[in-house]
Every structure is written in C-alpha cells, then in structure tokens.
Amino acid sequence: MQLIYNKIFLEHKAENHPESPARLLAFGDLEQSEIENGKKYLNLVYDDEYINLIKNASAKEMNLDEDTYTNSKSYEVACYAVGAAIKAAKQNDFALIRPPGHHATSNKAMGFCLFNSIAIACKWLNERGKRVLVVDIDGHHGNGTQDIFYKTDKILYLSIHQFPTYPGTGWVNEIGESKGKYYTINVPVQPYTSDDLFVDILSKIIPVIKNQYKPDIVAVSAGFDGHKDDPLLQLNLTVNSYYEVGKLLSANFNNIFACLEGGYNAEVLPHCVSAFLMGVNNEKAKLKFTEQRTTSAANVQREFEARKKSLRLSHDGFWVF
C-alpha cells in the first residue's frame, strides 16, 4: 500500500478551521500522483440536485453548515478526492485526500464533508460484482457511510468510534434495515478508551467477518482523530493502535485500500498514517510516539464490557463474535 497524493488537495481551505491544508502539509514534500477528476463517478451515490448544490455553494464560497465550509476550489477538490478514492480502490493504495467524506450522506454535507469518497468507491466496486467491507476507524461515527449503505447487504459497514460525541449516531442497535439488517456493526467506545480495548475488540470481530461475510475487498475510512493528542476527541489511542489495525487487516484480507478521513493534530497525523501503512505492508514497526496505553479506569473497562454484550445481543447471534 502506497500513498496517493496531489497538491490539488491543498486548495480547499478556510481560515481558522481544523480541517485545513496543514494536515497534508505536515507530510512534507510528497511525490504527486496523477489523479482523474472524479466528477463522472458522483452519480453512483448522488443525484444531480445535490451535486449542483455543492457546485453552486463552492462558486459562492458558502458554508453548508456551521462546521462545513466551501471556497471557490472546494467542488473541484472534492471531485479529485473521489478520483483518488477510485484509484486507491483499483490499486490497493491509500488516498491521502481532503476534504474527508464519511459524514456526507446521500443528500447532506456535514462534519467537514462534501462528497463521501469512500462510499462512491464502494459503489463502483459493487458495480463490478465485489463484496465490500468498510472498516471505519475514525474517532467519529461515519453516519454518512452508514446512511448510504443501511439497506444493502452488498456493503458491510463496521465502525469503531467514540460515543457519545458528534454526530450522535452509531449506537449498537443501529444494525441496518431490510436486506441490510445486520450489515451495519457499530462499536461505540467511551472517552479514554486506550489501545488495549480498541485493538482487542477489532481482533475478535474482523476474523468473524472474514469467515462469515467473505469480502472481496476492504475499504478503510482511515481517520486518526482517536489519537490521544487530537484536539477534537477524548480517546486515548497511540500510533500502536493504527499499526496493529493495519497488521490485523493485512493478516485477514488480500485486498485493502484506504481513504483519509479525520485526524486534526498535524504533528502526529503523519506518524499515525505511517504506522497504519507499516502494519498493512507487514513492515517492522519503526514508530514514533510509541508508548502503548492501557485502559486504566475501571469504569471505562466495565462500560466497554457492557457495550460489547449489548452489541452481541443487538445482532441476535447473526455474527458469532
């Protein structure tokens, strides 16, 4: 897995906003990739009315809500982010893109997100007969991705995230509807959850999905705002979690691609991404900020076990984890 990057992703910007070009500038002088404009893929998820809404908002440099801005380049940049996601899906690579996407539903921009790039890539894969597992490791719940795939069994959506926090969704009883029943798996964890519990629950769920669902490809919503030094959340993860998740995915699946979502501490974000890549690529860990953390608070441990039990009960034994 290699990085896909282009300086076009620096052109979406606003003053004094956490989702800024500084996130990617922190990676230094990266090699640029050739990326197509992904406009032609937008209709896989979005109707023309929504596409024109984003296009017109960008032309007028309007905010879409109190968190989600546009400037004159935002529509173009978001289209290229979609193109990079498609390229990552083709090549099993990591799309280092902005703006993020996993909060964008099929008809609403929110949470810094305009188009849901990873959802579009997953639909593109579905059209080619592929069964897809989405693993969302962003510290916020990917309500947009869940919404888009809530009624289908062609995409299995797995999210581990802090709860409660923005956007307020992602509880264990949100399991999908109709054909999609049981094909949404939410693992809501408390603030101050650390590496041990985060990695443990994924190490139990992911092999079960491998054996029962048998996905052809895994799409990772790779957000890193669960890091202990991120300003927007209160999780207690270190880069070790992202390295271990990368290793876990690589040990269970042959085809994996990823798209950058959150992660708002520009100093640590490149180290988190590097750790994840090393894990996926089965490289020996050469990590910075390596202090592994365990969950010391007894109340957090007790609540984690209670939520794990509720998760199993919500799925009525459909998944054997």
pLDDT above 80: residue 43: yes
The per-residue pLDDT for range 91-112, each reduced to its tens digit, is: 999 999 999 999 999 999 999 9
Distances (CA, A) of 25 to 80, 109, 266: 18, 25, 8
Please tell me which residue, 296 or 183, carries the higher pLDDT value.
183
The per-residue pLDDT for range 138-149, each reduced to its tens digit, is: 999 999 999 999
Q: For residues 250 and 281, is the Cβ–Cβ distance under 8 A?
A: yes
Close Cβ partners of 110 (under 8 Å, ≥ 6 residues apart):
64, 65, 67, 68, 103, 104, 144, 167
The per-residue pLDDT for range 150-209, each reduced to its tens digit, is: 999 999 999 999 999 999 999 999 999 999 999 999 999 999 999 999 999 999 999 999
Which band of pLDDT confidence, cut at 50, 70 and 90, is reported for residue 290?
low
Domain count, the chain: 1
Token pair recorded at residue 21: 């070009």
- Residue 79 belongs to a domain: yes
**pTM across the whole model:** 0.96
Q: Rounded mean pLDDT of 114-136?
A: 98
- Residue 319 belongs to a domain: no
What's the confidence (pLDDT) of residue 271?
95
What's the confidence (pLDDT) of residue 100?
98
Domain enclosing residue 46, as ranges: 3-314
- Residue 116 belongs to a domain: yes
Q: What is the CA radius of gyration of the chain?
A: 18
Q: For residues 268 and 232, is the Cβ–Cβ distance under 8 A?
A: no
Q: Rounded mean pLDDT of 116-143?
A: 98
Percentage of the chain surpassing pLDDT 90? 94
Which band of pLDDT confidence, cut at 50, 70 and 90, is reported for residue 286?
confident
Q: Rounded mean pLDDT of 12-29?
A: 97
pLDDT above 60: residue 27: yes
Residues assigned a catalytic role: 103
Which band of pLDDT confidence, cut at 50, 70 and 90, is reported for residue 289?
low
Token pair recorded at residue 215: 């996905």
- Residue 320 belongs to a domain: no
Class of residue 7 by CB neighbours under 10 A (exposed 0-12, middle 13-18, buried 19+): exposed
- Residue 175 belongs to a domain: yes
Gap between the Cα atoms of 31 and 22, Å rounded: 17
How, if at all, do strands 184-189 and 3-4 pair? unpaired
What's the confidence (pLDDT) of residue 295?
81
- Residue 321 belongs to a domain: no
What's the confidence (pLDDT) of residue 321?
87
pLDDT above 90: residue 285: no
Instruction: Output the domain CATH number for residue 21.
Output: 3.40.800.20
Q: Rounded mean pLDDT of 261-265?
A: 98
Residue among 258, 220, 272 at smallest CA distance from 1? 258
